[in-house]
Chains A and B, each alone.
Chain A
Amino acid sequence: MPSPEELVKLEWGYIVDTTRCIGCGSCVRACKLENDVPDRYFRTWVERYEIGRDETVHVDSPNGALESFKSDRLADASAVKAFFVPKLCNHCRNSACTQVCPVGASFHSPDGVVLIDKQRCMGCGYCVQACPYACRYIDHAKGTADKCTLCYHRIHRGLPPACVQACPRQARLYGNLADPDSPIRRVLHERRYYLLKPDMGTNPKCYYLGLDLEVK
């Protein structure tokens, strides 16, 4: 675990390359196993977008893509464009969830990860309502809010988040945004990227490559 002085020099960020995702759901399964995520709730999930000739959009994410995508909708001849979009907590710099938490249980770690103090959270659900990306949920067994921690317990041991490690297509990348020479920074310097719901003013640290306008 880095010292407090080293922590403030870090700023963890995340990149999702939607052009590489094949919707296999390995990331979702890895996250579930690693973090003991309750049934029917997700710290990460994958969405499938199919856009037709007439610009109709079909989106689905059956059980968060935990079992991948079984139905063969992609064979539909009317769909001219299709892609997968993995989702997770955006670890926003100006996060709505930490702002609204009435007891200060949701907070920013010194190295820029949005976390929940499970010993303090009273389970009011206000953060769940405030998150524009629906990344939070109430873990009913524990009575507290829950969400992606970027596998905080792993990244400080030098291990990648479970979803990053499980992805067979390197569609997910994480790293230190504060380091101008880090691989994640290099990608952001070279590629065009997009943020989810930028109009919300949350200033996310989860960057998307190859995203379509239809993705919210």
Chain B
Amino acid sequence: MDGFVFPNEQHVTWTVMIVLYPYITGLVAGAFIVSSLYHVFGFKNLRPIARFSLVSSFAFLLFAAVPLLNHLGRPERAANIMITPNFHSAMSGFGFVYTTYIVIVFLEIWFMYRPDFTLHWEKSRGLVRAMFYLLLLGDTRHTPEALAVDRKMVKILAGIGIPVACVLHGYVGFLFGSIKANPWWSTPLMFIIFIFSAIVSGIAVLIFLYQFVKWLKKIPYSQETLETMARFLWGFMIIAVVLELMEVLSLAYEQTEEWAVLKSLLLGKLYWTYVVLQLLVCSVVPFFLLSFACLVRLPTKLFNGLVFASSVLLLCQVLLMRWNVVVGGQLLSKSYRGFTSYLPGIFEKEGLLVAALIFIVPFLLLRQFDKVFPFFEQPGRERA
């Protein structure tokens, strides 16, 4: 503890769980938007990853609320957010936005996989066939008309899903940005920053997984897909980082009373996580790597390596950004006269081990899903 903090501020209320929550929802929203870039905006180069990105979004979505539940003092009352919502509170929208989004993504996946389910239904026998029949809700048609309806529904749902994904994550940013008591959070830019950083993390995790899975299964890359994703990552990371810097720059330029203490926060408690790691290592380095990869014609292996390294660094950048916002804001005392400290434990209820487990489970789920319904086309076997 440095300086004077109010006695009730000696303990950080929002732990690493609340760092993880916006990180996971960011991956959800970002991965969904990549999928929509193909389905809605017609970026054909992203076709090989469209299905994977949507299922990834769903897998992360299933676990996005888990850190919150683990954090709540009375998790058995979590449903109160929908039973007795206080609509004056931004947080009361959580249940409704989350539920809407999960329904949209679930339906989109269902329509996307319906043609596959009909083929599995035709081939299978006995109990498995009955299960697929149930999964298809009795609609086993595989006619061109039925497939056209499926495609149309996917497109419509993807279109509706974009604003909902932005609301889902923008709302998380708004939760922080609307807290006037905290000068490090209170900025209207916060929800825009959160949306763009979400897109960056979503594209980055897909690039990472795409290259990793392809390498693991020894399947050749779709180089065009990777190049398109790299360009999107480059563009969105520039917007996200510029917005983050603009926020700090405007605070510094205004030279308000708050800036004096925020400056001490950034150059003190957050020096390593914000200045060194988030800005210098995980923003500037991937910017140059991606600029080099996208502007200079490079050998394929080198290009792929640079993009992979950039995606890993940007995944860390967004995680650090979440840490610096959530934890950083709480280190600053509302007395504006000091800072408290926070270091998460490893084995405690809201510690690093539990956080790592919650984060890893969606990846394991994706692996199991891939075994049943492969995401990527095998060489020589085109998907219908």
* A interface, CB within 8 angstroms of B: 40-42, 45, 47, 57, 59-61, 63-64, 87, 96, 98-105, 120-126, 128-140, 142-145, 200-201, 216
Which residues, 173 to 189 on B, are CB-close (under 8 Å) to A? 175, 179-182
What is B's interface to A at a CB cutoff of 8 Å? 4, 6-11, 13-14, 68, 71-75, 77-78, 80-81, 83-86, 88-92, 94, 175, 179-182, 330, 333-337
Are A40 and B73 in contact (CB-based, < 8 A)?
Answer: no
Chain B residues contacting A40 (CB-CB under 8 Å) are: 7, 10-11
Decide: A61 and B7 in contact? CB cutoff 8 A.
yes
Bound CA span A71–B13, Å = 29
Interface of A is mostly: loop
Q: How far apart sit A134 and B332, CA to CA, in the bound complex (Å)?
A: 12
Q: Pull 22 A–B residue pairs with CB atoms less than 8 Å apart, ordered by A.
A: A45-B7, A98-B88, A99-B88, A100-B179, A103-B84, A103-B85, A103-B92, A104-B85, A123-B73, A123-B77, A125-B13, A125-B14, A131-B181, A131-B334, A132-B180, A133-B6, A134-B9, A137-B8, A137-B13, A143-B72, A216-B336, A216-B337
> What is the CB-to-nearest-CB distance from B193 to chain A, in angstroms, rounded to a whole number?
18
Interface centre among B7, B10, B86 (most CB of A within 10 A): B7
Cα–Cα distance between A49 and B29 once the two chains are bound (Å): 48
Whether B182 pairs with A129 at a CB distance below 8 angstroms is: yes
Q: Which residue of B lies closest to A87 (CB)?
A: B6
Q: Chain B: which residue is nearest A40 at the CB level?
A: B10
Tell me whether A124 and B91 are in contact (CB under 8 A): yes
Given contacts A102-B92, A123-B72, contact A132 B85 (CB under 8 A): no
Specify the chain A residue showing the minimal Cβ separation from B93: A102
Q: Check if A136 sits within 8 Å of B8, measured CB to CB.
A: yes
- Are B73 and A103 closer than 8 Å at their CB atoms? no
Q: Shortest Cβ distance from A63 into chain B, in angstroms? A: 7
Docked-complex contact A59 and B4, CB < 8 angstroms: yes
Which partner residue on chain B sits nearest A124 by CB separation? B72
Check B77 against A61 for contact (C-beta < 8 Å).
no
The 5 closest A-B pairs by CB, nearest first: A123-B73, A143-B73, A134-B6, A102-B91, A132-B181
Among B4, B6, B10, B77: residue with most chain A CB under 10 A = B6
Is the CB–CB distance between A100 and B90 below 8 Å? Answer: yes
Give the residues in chain B near A132, CB-CB below 8 Å: 180-181, 334
Name B88's closest neighbour in chain A (CB-CB): A99
Q: Identify A120's interface contact among B80, B90, B179, CB under 8 A.
A: B80
Whole-angstrom CA separation of A144 from B9 in the bound complex: 16
Q: A102-B91, A129-B13 are in contact. List 17 more A-B contacts (CB 8 A).
A: A41-B7, A41-B8, A42-B8, A87-B6, A102-B89, A121-B77, A123-B72, A124-B68, A125-B14, A126-B91, A129-B181, A131-B181, A132-B180, A134-B334, A136-B8, A137-B13, A143-B73
- Complex Cα gap A104–B92 (Å): 9
